[in-house]
Structure 1
Amino acid sequence: MKLHLAGAMAGLTMLAGIGASAAQDVIITPEQEVVIREYVQKKPLASIDLPGVELNIGSTVPETVELRALEVPDVTYRYVVVGNRTVLVDPGTRRIVRVIE
């Protein structure tokens, strides 16, 4: 019985790891990140607070938050500034894909 339970737990742990890595498959190249940082500095937004929302990849930004378009080539994400950090959001799902310190 212990052997079956240990195998099941190992399998669940592996699946959890796969799910976590799938959420992090968003690829922002270092060059794109530099361009995004420069863009946000040129077009600053007021920083907002989002009580109850953790700034983690995969967390959802509420519908009440206005997302701004990034006029950056090859980047389809939108952004908002939360707690003085730039947060990239998938506009279709409103999920956080990257937090830039």
Structure 2
Amino acid sequence: MRMHLSAAAAGFLLLAGMGAAAADTVVIQPEQETVIKEYVKKQPLASVKLPGVELNVGTALPDTVELHEVPNVKYRYTVIDNRTVIVDPGTHKVVKIIE
């Protein structure tokens, strides 16, 4: 009986962890992405290099990276290694990389 409870508890914790990870996933609606892309095209920025930082969704950028506002959009953007990066201004985490 004890073995069954431990396995069930472990399974529950695993599923709870997966749920928490899924809650961190940011979905940018296609309309918002279009607005961001059009704005970025009109407001080009110089590309920044961040040695030692692997650029992926979820990567937290250093606070020294300047983020730029897109009107009427929650997220900010910057250009790193010639890639437009959409960032959550509260956490400085990359939420999308626009190629």
CA distance in 2 between counterparts of 1:29 and 1:42 reads 20
2:56 and 2:97 in contact (8 A); partners too: yes
2:32 corresponds to: 32
2:89 paired residue among 88, 91, 95: 91
- Percent of pairs identical after alignment? 45
1:79 corresponds to: 77
Is 1:14 the equivalent of 2:8?
no
Pair member with larger Rg: 2
CA distance in 1 between counterparts of 2:11 and 2:33 reads 36
CA distance in 1 between counterparts of 2:98 and 2:49 reads 16
**CA offset digits 1:30-81 (Å, max 9, x no partner):** 1111121111112111222332344223x3110111111113x3x1211111
2:57 and 2:93 in contact (8 A); partners too: no
CA distance in 2 between counterparts of 1:27 and 1:82 reads 21
Structure 2 unpaired stretches of 5+:
none
1:70 corresponds to: 70
Give the secondary-structure state (helix, strand or coil) at the position aligned to 1:39: helix
Instruction: Judge which range, 27-36 or 4-13, deviates more.
Output: 4-13
Q: Per chain length, whose mean CA-contact separation is higher, i.e. which structure has more relative contact order (CA < 8 Å, sep 6+)?
A: 1
- TM-score, normalised with respect to structure 1: 0.76
Aligned residue pair count: 97
The Cα RMSD (Å) is 2.1
